[in-house]
Protein backbone atom coordinates (compact mmCIF):
# COMPACT_ATOMS: atom_id res chain seq x y z
CA UNK A 1 0.00 0.00 0.00
CA UNK A 2 1.39 3.36 -0.96
CA UNK A 3 1.75 6.04 1.68
CA UNK A 4 -1.32 8.21 1.90
CA UNK A 5 -1.19 11.94 2.32
CA UNK A 6 -3.10 13.60 5.10
CA UNK A 7 -6.82 13.67 4.36
CA UNK A 8 -6.53 11.20 1.49
CA UNK A 9 -8.29 7.89 1.50
CA UNK A 10 -7.54 4.68 -0.31
CA UNK A 11 -9.14 4.30 -3.71
CA UNK A 12 -11.90 1.74 -4.17
CA UNK A 13 -14.28 0.92 -6.99
CA UNK A 14 -17.38 -1.07 -6.15
CA UNK A 15 -20.20 -2.33 -8.36
CA UNK A 16 -22.97 -4.92 -8.18
CA UNK A 17 -24.60 -7.12 -10.78
CA UNK A 18 -26.45 -10.42 -11.06
CA UNK A 19 -24.66 -13.41 -12.50
CA UNK A 20 -26.13 -16.00 -14.83
CA UNK A 21 -26.77 -18.45 -11.98
CA UNK A 22 -28.97 -16.26 -9.78
CA UNK A 23 -26.26 -15.02 -7.42
CA UNK A 24 -25.55 -11.35 -6.77
CA UNK A 25 -21.96 -10.30 -7.43
CA UNK A 26 -20.26 -7.35 -5.77
CA UNK A 27 -16.96 -6.45 -7.45
CA UNK A 28 -14.27 -4.68 -5.45
CA UNK A 29 -11.23 -3.05 -7.04
CA UNK A 30 -8.46 -1.24 -5.16
CA UNK A 31 -7.96 -0.95 -1.42
CA UNK A 32 -10.76 -1.43 1.11
CA UNK A 33 -10.06 0.17 4.45
CA UNK A 34 -11.51 2.46 7.10
CA UNK A 35 -11.09 5.51 4.85
CA UNK A 36 -13.59 4.27 2.24
CA UNK A 37 -15.59 1.55 3.95
CA UNK A 38 -18.81 3.59 4.18
CA UNK A 39 -18.99 3.91 0.40
CA UNK A 40 -18.70 0.13 0.09
CA UNK A 41 -21.03 -0.56 3.02
CA UNK A 42 -23.85 1.44 1.38
CA UNK A 43 -23.84 -0.70 -1.75
CA UNK A 44 -23.24 -3.99 0.09
CA UNK A 45 -26.07 -3.29 2.54
CA UNK A 46 -28.43 -2.58 -0.37
CA UNK A 47 -27.48 -5.81 -2.15
CA UNK A 48 -27.54 -7.92 1.02
CA UNK A 49 -30.88 -6.33 1.93
CA UNK A 50 -32.35 -8.13 -1.08
CA UNK A 51 -31.54 -11.31 0.86
CA UNK A 52 -29.89 -13.16 -2.03
CA UNK A 53 -29.44 -16.90 -1.58
CA UNK A 54 -25.83 -16.50 -2.72
CA UNK A 55 -23.71 -13.35 -2.58
CA UNK A 56 -20.33 -13.41 -4.31
CA UNK A 57 -17.63 -10.82 -3.73
CA UNK A 58 -15.31 -10.66 -6.72
CA UNK A 59 -12.09 -9.59 -5.01
CA UNK A 60 -9.63 -10.45 -7.77
CA UNK A 61 -8.68 -6.76 -8.13
CA UNK A 62 -8.70 -6.05 -4.37
CA UNK A 63 -5.14 -5.33 -3.28
CA UNK A 64 -5.71 -4.60 0.42
CA UNK A 65 -8.38 -5.12 3.06
CA UNK A 66 -8.35 -4.16 6.73
CA UNK A 67 -10.63 -5.06 9.63
CA UNK A 68 -13.20 -2.43 8.60
CA UNK A 69 -13.51 -4.10 5.21
CA UNK A 70 -13.76 -7.55 6.78
CA UNK A 71 -16.58 -6.23 8.99
CA UNK A 72 -18.57 -5.23 5.88
CA UNK A 73 -18.19 -8.72 4.42
CA UNK A 74 -19.23 -10.34 7.70
CA UNK A 75 -22.23 -8.01 7.92
CA UNK A 76 -23.35 -9.17 4.48
CA UNK A 77 -23.03 -12.78 5.64
CA UNK A 78 -25.54 -12.12 8.40
CA UNK A 79 -28.20 -11.27 5.79
CA UNK A 80 -27.39 -13.26 2.64
CA UNK A 81 -27.86 -17.00 2.39
CA UNK A 82 -24.16 -17.61 1.78
CA UNK A 83 -21.19 -15.38 1.04
CA UNK A 84 -18.31 -16.36 -1.21
CA UNK A 85 -15.09 -14.60 -2.16
CA UNK A 86 -13.98 -15.18 -5.75
CA UNK A 87 -10.45 -14.59 -7.01
CA UNK A 88 -8.86 -13.70 -3.67
CA UNK A 89 -5.18 -12.83 -3.94
CA UNK A 90 -2.79 -14.71 -1.65
CA UNK A 91 -2.78 -11.70 0.70
CA UNK A 92 -6.58 -11.43 0.95
CA UNK A 93 -6.90 -15.21 1.21
CA UNK A 94 -4.41 -15.26 4.09
CA UNK A 95 -6.28 -12.54 5.99
CA UNK A 96 -9.53 -14.54 5.73
CA UNK A 97 -7.86 -17.81 6.71
CA UNK A 98 -5.91 -16.36 9.65
CA UNK A 99 -9.05 -14.64 10.89
CA UNK A 100 -10.81 -18.01 11.04
CA UNK A 101 -13.56 -16.78 8.73
CA UNK A 102 -13.49 -19.42 6.00
CA UNK A 103 -16.79 -20.91 7.18
CA UNK A 104 -18.51 -17.51 6.94
CA UNK A 105 -16.65 -16.11 3.92
CA UNK A 106 -16.16 -19.11 1.66
CA UNK A 107 -13.16 -18.88 -0.64
CA UNK A 108 -13.70 -19.76 -4.29
CA UNK A 109 -10.91 -20.23 -6.84
Query: Which domains, from first to last, does the chain contain?
Result: 12-108 (3.30.750.24)
Q: pLDDT tens for residues 14-73?
A: 999 998 888 999 999 999 999 999 999 999 999 999 999 999 999 999 999 999 999 999
Burial class, 54, CB count within 10 angstroms (exposed 0-12 / middle 13-18 / buried 19+):
middle
Which residues have a Cβ under 8 Å from the Cβ of 88 and sit 6 or more positions away? 59, 60, 62, 96, 107
Amino acid sequence: MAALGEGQGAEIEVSASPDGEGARVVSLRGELDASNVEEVRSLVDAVAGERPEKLVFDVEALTFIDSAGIAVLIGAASTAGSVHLRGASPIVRRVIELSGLTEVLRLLP
